[in-house]
Amino acid sequence: MKNIEITNLLLAAFLESGGACVIGIKSKSRYSKVELDLSHFNKKALEEKILRLGRVVGRVEDVDELKHIFSASMLGEIEDKYIRLKKRVVQERGKKC
């Protein structure tokens, strides 16, 4: 596969959870571009994680169980990757000042 540039950090974190690798950040004043290397991106593995999340949601019988979806799915992984990526973007912006 090839490299792509995107401005959506949440999408970048999502793709990272499927094996993509952040190889560059171009920080701007209002937004940042993240360059991803997709050579190790595994669409099937990401699809399986999404299907697993769907199964977890499908098993929810009570609204109170929704609070446990986070620990039983890929959501925690994506949140962690997003937070780390956001920190890197902020650091890149700090370098330009």
Segments making up each domain of the chain, as ranges: 3-96
Average pLDDT, the chain: 89
Q: Report pLDDT for 1.
A: 65
User: What tens digit of pLDDT does each residue of 31-72 get?
Assistant: 899 999 999 999 999 999 999 989 888 888 888 888 777 776
Number of Cβ within a 10 Å radius of residue 14: 19
Tokens representing 73 are 């799915």
CA 71, chain centre distance (Å): 16
Tokens representing 3 are 């490299």
Q: Please give the model's pTM, rounded to 2 decimal places.
A: 0.85
**What whole-number distance in Å separates Cα of residue 26 and Cα of residue 36?**
12
Question: Is 82:10 a contact under the CB 8 Å cutoff?
Answer: yes
